[in-house]
Structure 1
Amino acid sequence: MTVQYAPARRGRVLPPLRIGPYAVDTPVVLAPMAGITNAGFRRLCREQGAGYYVCEMITARGLVEKNPLTFRMIAFDGDEHPRSMQLYGVDPASMRRAAEMIVERDLADHIDMNFGCPVPKVTRRGGGAALPFKRKLFERIVRAAVEGAGDRPVTVKMRIGIDDEHHTHLEAARIAVDSGAVAVALHARTASQRYSGAADWSAIARLREAVPAHVPVLGNGDIFSAQDALDMVARTGCDGVVVGRGCLGRPWLFGDLEAAFAGRELPAPPNLGQVAATLRRHAVLLCEHMGDHKGIRDVRKHVAWYLKGFPVGSDLRRSLGMVTSIGHLDDLLAELDPHEPFPADADGPRGRQGSPGRVVLPEHWLDDPDDPSVPFGADVEHSGG
């Protein structure tokens, strides 16, 4: 199949993104990221621009078993709407019960399902990006979530497949839609790529052609700027973009995306003083959400992403990476030159990249794609996408 690429263009390239009964003018989704997309970070991003903001992944088993940690992760601001939750699971029974609990306890308005995790501890048990290969089991899981969710929309996120010899995204998307999923998102890498190399946007284009036109197809992979998003839409025909690593240390990316999709000029890049103010706001929100001690410790991992490319000395970087309080953070940020312009080379990949590798699978996993058996012990509490 030959995919025709259209030139990138500015202006409103898409209508509002609709997920079931919910619509947003800016067709952008924040990808769930473990240890990142908590309520504090989502609020920070929502302050920058419109979109769908999905919480950290929740395991179906953890929800069903009322795991205290799982329930602490289910936190939404009072004005956060729709409340989007991502579920991970490999057992149709657990997935159905988890979806039912979400409805009964009014825990979320929208359920996204994770079939994209490439982490070995997940794939070796048949979960994550390994699971769509088992098409019968995949169908049972998606259908169970849809039936358990009632009138709340269910969406599915996946990868191209296990590796270059085992692509599953086209068949899995058709199964998901036939089972009641209202949208599908594709991270355009295989599990064996993990986060390395370049995303294959042509796979998103093929998926858009394979799925009924009324079902939104969202593209994920290598969205590091507003222009990347416009390019992806123009080249693939997708209905929206999913942003993950590109917003690490750059929550203002959502403001850029909102402007780009509305046809407005992009805001000027922030100088170091504005970046420092955003970092401080992030720290305050984390402390409000997690408590002072955990919140200030959590912000430490974001420091390097915020300061990427800026000429900040190693001693000050090290001190910021060990900050102990908001007051301490204020003192350290005061040492920065607030007029330092945003560095031209700060765009591009950030966060984990790693290298490609063999996907670890359960023994005989690839023998029979129609085996509906639930893999033993696959419901691990782990995130990814």
Structure 2
Amino acid sequence: MSAPTVAHPLRIGPFVSDTPVVLAPMAGITNPGFRRLCREQGAGFYVCEMITSRGIVEKNPLTFRMIEFDADEHPRSMQLYGVDPTAMGLAVRMIVERDLADHIDMNFGCPVPKVTRRGGGAALPYKRKLFERIVRAAVDNAGSVPVTVKMRIGIDDERHTYLDAARRAADAGVAAVALHARTAAQRYSGTADWSAVARLRDAMPAELPVLGNGDIFSASDALAMVAQTGCDGVVVGRGCLGRPWLFGDLEAAFAGRPLPEPPDLGRVTATMRRHAELLIEHMGDHKGIRDMRKHIAWYLKGFPVGSELRRSLGLVSSLDELDELLAQLDPAIPFPAEADGPRGRQGSAGRVVLPEHWLDDPDDPSVPLGAELEHSGG
């Protein structure tokens, strides 16, 4: 199979994007400011940070502050986390009745210990009956709002769950299935196994979109995944950290157009300035500029920037100070080749932390004690 010159549009329920790309929800990253920055670069579906079903049902003020979308953001895509079918059903019903979102993406892929030790995220599909009940509770209460699921290959190399879970999700009526082609034990280390995406595409009904996730760091990576797996689109996470223009590259690549020239340092700093403005608009002066700090190293990866200037940028405390520091950079420096490739957290593989006796009976549908997360955002 050769790489496509023009991609098929991606349909999620009634919503269609000519560019078959989804921004992965990332805790502390995919807030309204970052989503707007990415939407300004190219088309696709842009998903907010994780929202917990418990937070919605209990009307947690922090949760409801996080459910924020721009007036022109469409569709409004929300990622929802939960481990209790009853709470999930109630939360989805509230989302629909209050018109809080147009699309719900369910989180069954998070590998972090604070989530898996409660039986959530990537741990949950192992409990296949509980998983099925949660997905059905969401779909049954969603009405016309499409529900999608995102998952991993499984807990570890001995416990692959994705094919069974995807079949159950498809039978429940989800609008799409996305697979991060790593196990929970891998976390973000090693290499994604794209062959799992191909197996999932082959196992699913042709009309159900299957999306691939993992190691999409460039437009060529996205085209290669579609070519190698036959998947219907890609989910991009860490690849866009410090590179929101990746969505413009992806739009061009899937349309069969030449890619834009990589940005020189002048364009990168202009994008950084825009990002900071949007964060401040969303969070306020103090919180917005502090949140910007973590993005700066990603933006400047590979560029010849002195250690003292990098340190000052990492401690920036106002938009004026950011302007003064960015003015010290040479805008003509071309985009460095060493800025390509993996970015963001990688870490190392390790044992998955699970609730006690979690692996004893995969058909046990009971909700683990204390499983629901109180706070949204991951």
Q: Is TM more than 0.5 here?
A: yes
Match of 1:120 in 2: 113
Matched-pair contact (CA < 8 Å) for 1:137–1:371: yes
Matched-pair contact (CA < 8 Å) for 1:272–1:341: yes
Q: 1:382 offset after TM fit, Å?
A: 6.0
352, 364, 369: which one aligns with 1:376: 369
1: CA distance between counterparts of 2:363 and 2:376? 26
Q: Does 1:263 align with 2:271?
A: no
Shift of the 301–125 alpha-carbon distance from structure 1 to 2, 3 Å rule, reads same
Q: Does 1:253 align with 2:242?
A: no
Q: Percent identity?
A: 80
When the two structures are superposed, what TM-score results if normalisation uses the length of structure 2?
A: 0.99
Q: Does 1:332 align with 2:331?
A: no
276, 289, 310: which one aligns with 1:296: 289
2: CA distance between counterparts of 1:382 and 1:369? 27
Q: Does 1:74 align with 2:67?
A: yes
2: CA distance between counterparts of 1:319 and 1:75? 31
Match of 1:202 in 2: 195
Q: 1:115 offset after TM fit, Å?
A: 0.2
2: CA distance between counterparts of 1:126 and 1:324? 39
Match of 1:173 in 2: 166
Matching of residues 19-58 of structure 1 within 5 Å: 19-58=12-51
Match of 1:145 in 2: 138
Match of 1:3 in 2: none
2: CA distance between counterparts of 1:224 and 1:150? 35
Matched-pair contact (CA < 8 Å) for 1:84–1:110: yes
257, 270, 279: which one aligns with 1:277: 270
Q: 1:217 offset after TM fit, Å?
A: 0.1
Matching of residues 356-367 of structure 1 within 5 Å: 356-367=349-360
Matched-pair contact (CA < 8 Å) for 2:17–2:44: yes
2: CA distance between counterparts of 1:382 and 1:159? 21
Which one is further off, 156-165 or 321-330?
Answer: 321-330
Match of 1:11 in 2: 5
Matched-pair contact (CA < 8 Å) for 2:41–2:245: yes
Match of 2:151 in 1: 158
Matched-pair contact (CA < 8 Å) for 1:223–1:246: yes
Q: 1:345 offset after TM fit, Å?
A: 1.2
3-state SS of the aligned residue for 2:329? coil
1: CA distance between counterparts of 2:73 and 2:377? 22
Please give the per-residue CA displacement for 1:243-302, whole angstroms capped at 9, x wherever unaligned.
Answer: 000000000000000000000000000000100000000000000011111101100000
Q: Does 1:310 align with 2:287?
A: no
Matched-pair contact (CA < 8 Å) for 1:129–1:191: yes
When the two structures are superposed, what TM-score results if normalisation uses the length of structure 1?
A: 0.97
Matched-pair contact (CA < 8 Å) for 2:150–2:177: yes
Matched-pair contact (CA < 8 Å) for 1:63–1:98: yes
Matched-pair contact (CA < 8 Å) for 1:83–1:109: yes
Q: 1:379 offset after TM fit, Å?
A: 1.2
Q: 1:10 offset after TM fit, Å?
A: 4.9
3-state SS of the aligned residue for 2:48? coil
2: CA distance between counterparts of 1:258 and 1:320? 31
Match of 2:87 in 1: 94
1: CA distance between counterparts of 2:290 and 2:317? 7
The one-letter amino acid of 2:277's match is: V
Q: 1:361 offset after TM fit, Å?
A: 1.1
1: CA distance between counterparts of 2:376 and 2:89? 19
Q: 1:329 offset after TM fit, Å?
A: 0.6
1: CA distance between counterparts of 2:177 and 2:68? 24
The one-letter amino acid of 1:57's match is: M
Please give the per-residue CA displacement for 1:39-92, whole angstroms capped at 9, x wherever unaligned.
Answer: 000000000000000000100000111111101111100000000000000000
1: CA distance between counterparts of 2:214 and 2:33? 24
Q: Does 1:227 align with 2:213?
A: no
The one-letter amino acid of 2:240's match is: C
Matched-pair contact (CA < 8 Å) for 1:126–1:361: yes
Q: 1:196 offset after TM fit, Å?
A: 0.1
Q: Does 1:191 align with 2:184?
A: yes
1: CA distance between counterparts of 2:61 and 2:144? 27
1: CA distance between counterparts of 2:213 and 2:325? 36
Please give the per-residue CA displacement for 1:326-348, whole angstroms capped at 9, x wherever unaligned.
Answer: 11110000000000000011111
The one-letter amino acid of 2:283's match is: M
Match of 1:286 in 2: 279
The one-letter amino acid of 1:102's match is: I
3-state SS of the aligned residue for 2:342? coil
Matched-pair contact (CA < 8 Å) for 2:62–2:376: no
